[in-house]
Structure 1
C-alpha cells in the first residue's frame, strides 16, 4: 500500500505531519472513533487520492485546545480528490473521477437526508445527528488532510466534476466547494439575501469572505464586512465590500455612515464562539457579542444566518457557562423584532452542484475572494500557525503537488 501522511492534532497549539494508516473499507479503532462505529463495514465507500485539502477555522478551534478533541486525531474535512478505488457496493462513481467531498458525512437513506438535511444525518454518528471528517464528537471518521482519504456512501456523497482538465484549471476555486463556499452561501440564503439587499457579515475570515462573495452572487446591493483584523478587512475590500473595524466601536455607527441608517436587511455570523468584544472590549473574549450585535443591527422582521461554529463543550472558555455552550443572549431583543435564526452545519449537498456551475462558468472567483494559497502537506504546521496569527489567506494543502503542476 502507498505511504499515507496525515496532519495530526497532538495537543493545544501543536500539529504534526506523520505516517497514518492507509484507508480501509472498515472503520478501525483510533483517536476519537466512536466505539459503536468500530468495525463498521464500508462496501459503499471510495478511496480518494487527495488533490486539495484545506485548513479550516473549525480545525483551528480544535488546534487551539478549545474543544475536547483527542490527541492523535487526523484533521481535515475539506477534501477534493481523485477516486482510486471503490468498494463492491459503489455503482456510479468510477475510478479516475475527480470529485468534491462535502464535509458533512451522510447516508442518503435516513429521514433527514431524504429531506436534504444532510448536515444532520441520523446514521453516521452514534452520539447525535450530524458528522464530519476529522472532527471532534462527529463519529470518528478519519480526517482528509492526508495523501489519501476514505469517503463512505460514495455514490451519494461525491460530486463529480464533469471535465477533469477544466476542473484542474479551476481547482483552487473548486476546492472551496467542500465547505466554505456552500457554508457562506448557506449563511446568506438563511439570512434572506436577495437582489438589492443590504448585508452585514460578521467576520472576515475565509467563511466570512465566502459569505460576502455569496451575497454578491445572490444580488446584494451592499455587503459590509466587520472584523478586528485590518489585513482581512483589506481582503474584503479587494472584491467590493464595505468594511467595519469593530475594534473602533459598535458596528451600528459605522454601518450608518455607509448606509445612512444603522441597520441592514440581512446579517451573517461567520465568527462563532471565540468572538471578541467590540470597541474597548475588543481584546476580551465575549462569545455572545456577535449574536447580540446582529440582533441589534438587523431590521425588524429580518433574519440571521449563523454558520459560525458554536460548541457544546469548550474547555478553554473564560466562564463556566460558556464551557458548556451556554451564552448570555439578548433573546428578548430578537423576539421583539421577530427575527429568524438559522444555525447548524451547512447542508453542503443542497448547494454544491449549483456553486460548481457558477465556478466553471466564471460567475464567481471564490479562490480570489478568500485569497486561497496552496502549500505542500509538510508545511501544514506552518499554515496552521500563520492562520492562527490572523493571516488573510485560505490555506490549501497540496499533498501530491497536483495543484502546483496545474498552475
Structure 2
C-alpha cells in the first residue's frame, strides 16, 4: 500500500457485492513474477457488482444499483479527470499518476477478486445499469465493460481505424479479441488478428476475423496474401512487454510487436498500443528490458510519420456507449472473447490454464450470480 493512502477516509466510497470479476492478462504478469508486485496483494481490477452500502458523501449511487466499475480509479476533480483522462488521475495514487484496483504501483487499492470490494469516489467512478433485470440477464457481456472491451476499443480508435479500414491486431488473447470485435463494431473492412497460438487464432476466426499464424512465414507476406498489399491502414498492439519472437520457439523479444507493427502499418498510419509495458520487469532475461528499455525502431516509425498512443485506457470515455451497444444487441463481446465462468475458489485453475495459452476469458463468480447466464 502506498504509505500516503494508509488510513485514507473514503466517505465518498461504496461497498459492492461482487457479481463478476475477471482474470486479466495484466494480473497474469504479476502472478508470473514479471512485476514488482508484493506478496499478499489482492488482485482484480475488472469488477461488476451490486451496491450494498454507501458512504455518507455518496449522493447519486443507490443501494441496490448494479454497476460496472472502470479499472481506472479516478477522483473526478483533478485536471486530468476533467479532461477525460481518467487513466492518469492525479489524486488517487501518491506514487505517480493513475490508480487501479489490486495492481502493482497503482496506489495500493484492494482488488476485486473477492466477495466484496470498496469503490472510492463512487458517484463519479461507477456506471449504473439502467435496468436490474436486464443487467442480470446480460451480466456475462456487461462484465467486459470494466476493462477489456473499452481497452480493445481504445486501441482501435487510437489506431485511427474506421469504416472500411484494414486493421491488424497483434495478439489473440482477450484484449486482442475485444479489439477485433471493436474494429468490426466501428465498421472496419478487414480485421486481421495475428498470434502464435492456434487455439486463439481459431477463436478469432469464429466471429469473422482473418488470421495470421506468425510461425508460418513473415507477417508482411501473410498480410499481402489477405489484402493484396503487405500493409494495413491501422494497427493495434494487444500483446505488450512479454512479446515473443515470430518463430516456432517463440523466445522472448519484448520489442517484436512494436517493430513489426511499424513495418506493416502504412505511411501516415497510427498504432494503438493498449498492450502493457512496464517500468520494471524483474523476470526478464534482458538487462535493458528489466528497467523497461526496449530496442524499438523509432527511426522507422518517424520515417513513416506514424502516430503512437500508449497508456491505460480511460475506460470512462467509452463505457457508457459500449454498454448501450451490448444492451441493444449490437455486439456479442462475451462470445468473441470466449467468456468462461469459474467460481472464486477455482481462480488458481483459471490462472494456470490462462498461463498455458487457453483461449478463454475467465470470469469469476463469487456469489453464483452467473448461474444460467449465457453470452448474448
TM-score over 0.5 (shorter chain): yes
SS at match of 1:399: coil
**1:205-245 Cα shifts (integer Å, max 9, x gaps):** 00000000000000000000000000000000000000001
Q: Gaps (5+ residues) in structure 2?
A: none
CA contact (8 A) 1:188 1:268 kept: yes
Which of 286, 298, 302 is residue 269 of structure 2 equivalent to?
Answer: 302
CA contact (8 A) 2:224 2:231 kept: yes
Aligned to 2:54: 86
Which of 54, 58, 61 is residue 29 of structure 2 equivalent to?
Answer: 61
Which of 78, 88, 92 is residue 124 of structure 1 equivalent to?
Answer: 92
Aligned to 1:16: none
Cα distance in 2, alignment partners of residues 131 and 146 from structure 1:
19
Q: Superposed, which structure 2 residues align to 1:110-121 within 5 Å?
A: 110-121=78-89
Aligned to 1:52: 20
**1:286-326 Cα shifts (integer Å, max 9, x gaps):** 00000000000000000000000000000011111000000
Q: Superposed, which structure 2 residues align to 1:150-169 within 5 Å?
A: 150-169=118-137
**Deviation (angstroms), 1:406:** 4.4
Residue 332 of structure 2 is aligned to residue 400 of structure 1: no
SS at match of 1:253: helix
Give TM-score scaled by structure 2 length.
0.99
RMSD: 0.7
Which of 325, 332, 340 is residue 365 of structure 1 equivalent to?
Answer: 332
**Deviation (angstroms), 1:180:** 0.0
Aligned to 2:229: 261
SS at match of 2:370: helix
Which of 45, 50, 69 is residue 101 of structure 1 equivalent to?
Answer: 69
**Deviation (angstroms), 1:248:** 1.8
Which of 231, 250, 272 is residue 240 of structure 2 equivalent to?
Answer: 272
CA contact (8 A) 2:140 2:373 kept: no
**1:374-404 Cα shifts (integer Å, max 9, x gaps):** 1110000000000001110000000000101
Q: Superposed, which structure 2 residues align to 1:254-403 within 5 Å?
A: 254-279=222-247, 282-403=249-370
Cα distance in 2, alignment partners of residues 206 and 61 from structure 1:
14
Q: Gaps (5+ residues) in structure 1?
A: 1-32
Which of 151, 169, 178 is residue 201 of structure 1 equivalent to?
Answer: 169
**Structure 1 runs (4+) greater than 6 angstroms displaced:** none
CA contact (8 A) 1:250 1:279 kept: no
Which of 175, 187, 198 is residue 155 of structure 2 equivalent to?
Answer: 187
